[in-house]
Amino acid sequence: MLQRRQLLLSLGPAGLAALTGLGAGAAHAAARPQDFDNARPRQPLLAPLKGVDDITGDRDAVASLRGRWPAELQGRFYRNGPALFERGGQRYHHWFDGDGMVQQFSIGDGAVRHRGRLVRTSKLKAEQSAGRFLLPTLGTHIAGGPPISGPDAVNVANTNALEHAGQVLAMWEGGSAYALNPADLATTGPVTWRQDLAQVPFSAHPKVDAAGQLWNIGTAGHRLVVWHIDGQGRLVRAQVGELPLPAGLRGTMVHDLAVTERYLVVPLPPVGIDFMQRPADGRHRFKLALGEPLRVLVMEKADITRRRVFELPAEMVFHVGNAFEAADGEIALSYIGAPDASFLDEGAVAMMAGRAAPQVSDSGLRLARLHMGTGRVQVQKLAGDVEFPRVHPQRIGLPARWLLTAAAWPLYPARQDYGLLHGVQLLDTHTGRTQRHDYGEHVVAEEHVLVPKPGKTGELDAWLLGTTYDARRQATVLNLLDAARIGDGPIAQAVLPYGLPLGFHGNFTAA
């Protein structure tokens, strides 16, 4: 049996801090809501970062439809992201700090219905009762609260949402997944896959392979947990291993993974931070450890002790697109790389303050070829100014020709958009050619997903489905594009009568 106590408690205070992103050195004391309110009129794209409250925060509406929604498209599209940023006269400093809110778009019967609910975590309920923030977060120091009893005490469940085996999983990389009822988005509670695994981290980017098996990881300091959940939502196995971190690096931000038919592929960016030391300005810094490469850990699914570590040029990595095994013994891995951690350290803080911080995204899509036999590495740059990579869901872990991203082409030289994204792009990895649609500089484009057309298997026999925030309308819009012709723009839209907080990730489930 996996020893939860060994995994969590033996790490000590520094390990728990690295696990949760918290500690005595955690960033700023809370900000004032009026500072953001004063700046917001000058930065209309940032209006969604005002967030919601937990009294009037629920959202329910039947969207106004435009264009033609195909009758054969029926299902539920989920999104998750930080949504509650203010309480008791305080405001969080970092975008990633907000309590999570799951959005559900139910598509079918000639209508698109929206429902949005805050995830009722133990943290949210305790702070609602107290009328103030009690617990520190990644970027905001909250004084005078109770001691942190474990990862789920600070779990904000704000990063991704996936319907699997009849329940919606709201996920955050530092603790348990929270289960929600897909019928009404009522929070059921944290998921305990096995009693001795309670509160062991279940990260926010699980992968469901072609066989319907769910694979995920969790990290705690220098330790790694690999989860295997079957299609019925039952734990098949949990394995524990060590992260190959350099000496002196207590932990790193392990945010995503890829799967192939036989392997798990985990990027380990060399991002260092000492959570236990409080700098003079009260703010911690995320930075790439000098001289350290981007490590990629490749493990066999059946036995994670059978592994190989590859060293790539140093970059910050949040998200992967896909991985697959080539015939020549190589693993092809697509991911988004950035030269530093400045967005994590500066951009997300500037957004929450409503400050002008002109920035053109400098992250790019990479394709790494990792040779399992020789250890040889080749890295190719495929596209710049993109994020949130996705592939056709039936190609996860298999060769995929087309990669979908949200994009921020440098078309607006005077913009002040904090690296926000304005369009979507499909890249043909065989030719390098792209299809793209630009929503406009008054629109924030969020992550889009590929939805297969019923009865079709081709990668472009699909729709693109994703949300945007339109600053002119002050409304969130659900967009549908044909994957074979995304340059034509949306074939259908569902316009909500309100704007939603900007989200991170989500997934579609067919009815």
Annotated binding site for Fe cation: 205, 255, 319, 505
From residue 465, give the alpha-carbon distance in Å to each of 144, 449, 492: 44, 5, 10
- Compute the half-sphere exposure of residue 191: CA atoms within 13 Å on the CB side of its CA: 24
Phi, psi at 45, each rounded to 5°: -65, -20
d(CA 494, CA 275): 43
What is the Cα–Cα distance from 25 to 274, expressed in whole angstroms? 8
- Phi, psi values for residue 33, rounded to 5°: -55, -35
Residues in the chain: 511
User: CA-CA distance, 161 to 203, in Å (whole number)?
Assistant: 11
The answer to whether the CB of 438 falls within 8 A of the CB of 474 is: no
3-class DSSP state for residue 11? helix
DSSP letter for 17, please.
Answer: H
Q: What six digits make up the tokens of 323?
A: 């991985």
- For residues 493 and 478, the answer to whether their CB atoms sit within 8 Å is yes
Query: Which residues define the annotated binding site?
Result: 205, 255, 319, 505
Alpha carbons 150 and 235: distance in angstroms, whole number: 22
Assess contact for 153 and 136: CB atoms under 8 A: no
Q: Nearest 5°: phi and psi at 255?
A: -105, -25
CA-to-CA dists, residue 452 to 39, 250, 442, 510, angstroms: 42, 42, 29, 9
* Residue 272, strand partner residues: 287
Q: What is the DSSP letter of 127?
A: H
Provide the 3-class DSSP secondary structure of residue 63: coil
| Interacting residues of 476 by C-beta distance below 8 A, sequence separation 6+ | 48, 467, 468, 469, 470, 496, 498, 499, 500
Residue 338 host element (H or E): strand 330-338
d(CA 486, CA 480): 9
Helix (H), strand (E) at residue 367: strand 364-371
CA 256 – CA 504 distance, rounded (Å)? 13
CB atoms within 10 A of CB 180: 26
